[in-house]
Amino acid sequence: MLSYSIKRVLMLIPVLLGMTLIVFAIIHAIPGNPALTILGTKATPEAIQNLNRSLGLDQPWYIQYFTYLKHILSGDLGTSIQTNTPIANQIWPHLAATIELSFVAMIIAVVVGINAGIISAWKKNSVLDYTAMIVALIGVSMPIFWLGLLEQWAFSVKLNWLPSIGRMDIISNVQPITNLYLIDTLLEGQLDQFWMVLRHLILPSIALATIPTAIIARMTRSSMLEVLKSDYIRTAKAKGQRMFWIVYKYALKNAFIPILTVIGLQTGLLLGGAILTETIFGWPGIGLYIYNAIQYRDYPVIQSGILVIAFIFVMVNFIVDLLYGLIDPRIKYR
Amino acid sequence: MRKKYLVLTLTLIVALAMALTGCASGGSSGSSSSAAGKTLIFGRGADTTSLDPAAVTDGESFRVTQNVFDTLVSYDYSKQSTNVIPSLATSWTITNGGKTYTFKLRKGVKFQDGTDFNAQAVVFNFDRWMNGKASGQFAYFPSMFGGYKGDPGLVIQNVTASDANTVVFDLTRPSAPFLKNLAMSPFAISSPAAIKKYGKNYGTTAAVGTGAYVFKSWKRNDTITLTKNKSYWKSGFPKLDTLVFKVIPDNSARLNALKNGEIDMMDGVNPSDVSGLKGNNQLQVYYRPPMNVAYLGFNVTMKPFDNPKVRQALNMAVDKQGIIKAFYNGQAQAATNPMPPSLLGYDNSITPYPYDLTAAKKLLADAGYPNGFSTTLYTMANPRDYMPEPQNVAQSIQSTFGKIGVKVNIVTVEWSSYIDKLMKGGIPMYIMGWTGDNGDPDNFLYTLLDKDSIGSNNFSFYSNDQLHNILISAQSQTNDAQRVALYNQAQVILHNDAPWVPLVYAKPVLVGKSTITGYKPSPTGTEPFENISIK
């Protein structure tokens, strides 16, 4: 297992390197000039030229790429063109916001999705099954921005139960330690603030969880259906085992490998795909950070932001690969 | 079998947990009165770029810096006008044929870091901006004052402190918009001590001026918090203790947050949402007086738009009232001239081209296009203050042009690429707009349509020597009556030559809680929040 892990980590290098090249190529292919976007229509053409020069954007693309690569390899994520501040200082608060949101969304998706899938498989072709699968179908096809606005309208504006925007009350003073506010408020021992942060998480995390919940539910259903047909389940039934234990203990364990794969993929997708949720809920996450950078053609931020997300995506899937062995002892790593 | 219900229970627990957290402490975060004193939270669509006003050109940055800094002279915000009134300078005299400005500075004013505001500080700030050429910083400075130090266009020859409270500006030539330029928020005075102390980080971790509020904290893409400057030189101001700017990118979500009481005020309201606010006594709607123009531009170097008759014909084929009704919720004024009516020298005597398709078709036939022609109309994908729904406006133009035989193909381009494309040329017809900087007609007519501006903001590549001579002489004319006469002439030329179809002067919408008092939106797009209060 150790040698496998080392091998996998080494394989990350070409993957990430390829990633930098692709990202670099794409952002330089989109039209638009950062200097012009930063300075706006008010700037003189000369000022734009000057800024282009001081940003190194007048260099040929391969020189720009290698300069960028050199910096990345020495651990320097670069400096934002727009704000002229080091990206390394800015990226963590944004990333932490997204991680917190995605984590809560993923918990919802896993708990709700797996249970819905199990019930559907267990009560195949029942009203319960049809309801769950129709809801899942709607979930997959739901536009998140629309769902988000609807949630805000219902639970904030009309019912006044939950806050509609932000990570916390705007004038509250949660002290960032890790920038994961659920943890920070606990570290500070501020239970009321923890509660307040949690309340802010509810609407956006439900919006973000919709699609993964639906996908996990559908995957769980099909995987469970397969397993429930197998001989050892019939034997267990014949022995008079309680159906609940058969489903949750024996069947789920064997059905879990494909579900885990989907969970891994979805977690990675959430990190990069939270942008719509972040826009609607005024959530200062990495998606919003990169989105702004794209609008400003802030090349270093786009590059480093996507690189960090790609890295996390690859790492999550690496962890999932390792988990396979824990769940199914028949899987051996070489 | 009984235990099968456990499964259901599990799912129910999740649902219940959600509901309970909701009910546990219902209600929203009240913001007006709390431990922080009187607080106002302003919701907006994008974050500030930098808190150093001289280093930026975007309105979201000025919205904040305007409250931290003061300028030498100020626009008359309380009257919502762009007339210039004293601020850090209490009085000034203009001598030497309009080439020397002598400012008497307000005594006893301190920067928020405790250092003195004086003539030396003013000189320090101007020196800093004028020497910005190498760094490419301070981009707004050369666009308003004609260049950096060493550039032939720079209108400021030198800035000197003749005593601790007197600053003298020597100009290379008389400049009519000079005072108005000094009132612009990018040219606010920073503390020299703070600039030296923070170096490259000035504007990011610190911003020190003489203004009504002190910069406290900045969470990127989230909030900027300012607190009351207790030793502000205008006694009794500001009225708020805390001022917070919160980023919520989506217009509808921002409105939801306002309705839920999480923010107190916002801009960027979709015009279509405004009618839904009528009858809501919790909220009040503000309209910013227009200092902008949205227009349809023609590239006058390309066929068939090189023919003035074609341009005049198309001027008669745009249903401006229909556009205003459909996409501005009625809250805009149909445009006649390339500059808004609130500006000095606006020519009221010009009769706008009527919306008359028959006349348009006839004129088009006279120009040699009885069957019309096909062309391409470019528009931006992103809404702007002066153009909330660019694609719909483009479609409206497409439909009325179609009725006179002009077939229009619409191309939508994302904003950051759009300006780039327009500057490079080769675009036959485009939708664009401009929000004024300093409230001077020069900032519209010269900046947008003079031949000197080809390659920057003259996207029509319109070049007219007669117009050029008028605009140049108006620049150095300091007598208002004579400037008015010159700008009237210029507008007549532009009306007849018709390089644009001026579409509308838009009134951007803001919404706030009805408990807010003393707020007057300024035509310049941003305003200090010193008079504003909230119950």
Cα separation of B534 and B367, whole Å? 60
For chain A, helix (H) and strand (E) counts, in that order, are: 15, 0
ipTM above 0.90 for this complex: no
The CATH class given to the B32-68+211-288+508-535 domain equals: alpha beta
Which token pair is B472? Answer: 């140049």
Cβ pairs bridging A and B (under 8 Å): 216
What residues in B contact A165, CB-CB < 8 Å?
246, 248, 253-254, 256-257, 262-263
Interface contact flag, A47 B147, Cβ < 8 Å: no
Per-residue buried b or exposed e for B310-339, using 16+ beta carbons within 10 Å of the residue's own CB:
bbbbbbbbbbbeebbebbbbebbebbbbbb
The CATH class given to the B72-190 domain equals: alpha beta
Q: Which of B49, B220, B224 to mutate to test the interface with A (most CBs of A within 10 A)?
A: B220
- Pick from B68, B106, B50: nearest CA to B220: B50
Cis-peptide, bond into residue B304, ω within 30° of zero? yes
CATH of region A87-327: 1.10.3720.10
Instruction: Indicate the CATH number of B292-506 among 3.10.105.10, 2.60.120.10, 3.40.50.1470, 3.40.50.720.
Output: 3.10.105.10
Q: What is the pLDDT of residues B414-426, one digit of tens each?
A: 887 888 888 888 8
On whether the CB atoms of residues B83 and B76 are closer than 8 A, the answer is yes
Task: Identify the residue whose tokens are 């150093």.
Answer: B52
Q: Under DSSP, is residue A224 helix (H, G, I), strand (E, B) or coil?
A: helix
**Alpha helix (H) ranges present in A126-229?**
127-141, 144-151, 181-187, 191-228
Amino acid type, A152: Q
Interface contact flag, A119 B11, Cβ < 8 Å: yes
What residues in A contact B424, CB-CB < 8 Å?
none
Cα separation of A302 and A298, whole Å? 6
Cα separation of B145 and B150, whole Å? 13
Q: What's the pLDDT at B16?
A: 47
Please report which helix (H) or strand (E) contains residue B357, including its range.
helix B357-366
Can you say whether the dihedral through the CA atoms of B124, B126, B128, B131 is positive or negative?
Answer: negative
Q: Which of B5, B8, B25, B29 to mutate to test the interface with A (most CBs of A within 10 A)?
A: B29
User: Which DSSP category does B275 fall into?
Assistant: G
Cα separation of B256 and A61, whole Å? 44
Banded model confidence at residue B455, pLDDT cuts 50, 70, 90: confident
Domain with CATH 3.10.105.10 in chain B: 292-506
What residues in B contact A172, CB-CB < 8 Å?
29
Closest-CA residue of chain B to A162: B22
Please report which helix (H) or strand (E) contains residue B380, including its range.
strand B374-380
On whether the CB atoms of residues B420 and A30 are closer than 8 A, the answer is no
Cα separation of B140 and B151, whole Å? 15
By the CB < 8 Å criterion, does B438 face chain A?
no
Q: What's the pLDDT at A97?
A: 93
Cα separation of B136 and A52, whole Å? 9
Instruction: Phi first, then psi: give them for residue A325, nearest 5 degrees.
Output: -65, -35
Give me the residue spans of the domains in chain A: 87-327
Digitized pLDDT (tens) for each residue of chain A, 334 residues in all: 778 888 888 888 888 888 888 888 887 777 777 777 777 666 777 777 877 887 778 888 888 888 888 888 888 888 888 777 888 888 999 999 999 999 999 999 999 999 999 999 998 889 989 998 998 888 888 888 899 999 999 999 999 899 999 998 888 878 888 889 999 899 988 888 999 999 999 999 999 999 999 999 999 999 999 999 899 988 988 888 888 888 888 888 888 888 998 998 888 888 866 888 999 999 999 999 988 888 778 888 888 888 888 888 888 888 888 888 888 878 777 6
B177 Cα distance to chain centroid: 17
Name which of A38, A93, A282 is nearest B247 (Cβ-Cβ). Answer: A282
Cα separation of B503 and B355, whole Å? 12
Q: What is the pLDDT of residues B334-388, one digit of tens each?
A: 999 999 998 999 999 999 999 999 999 999 999 999 999 999 999 998 888 899 8
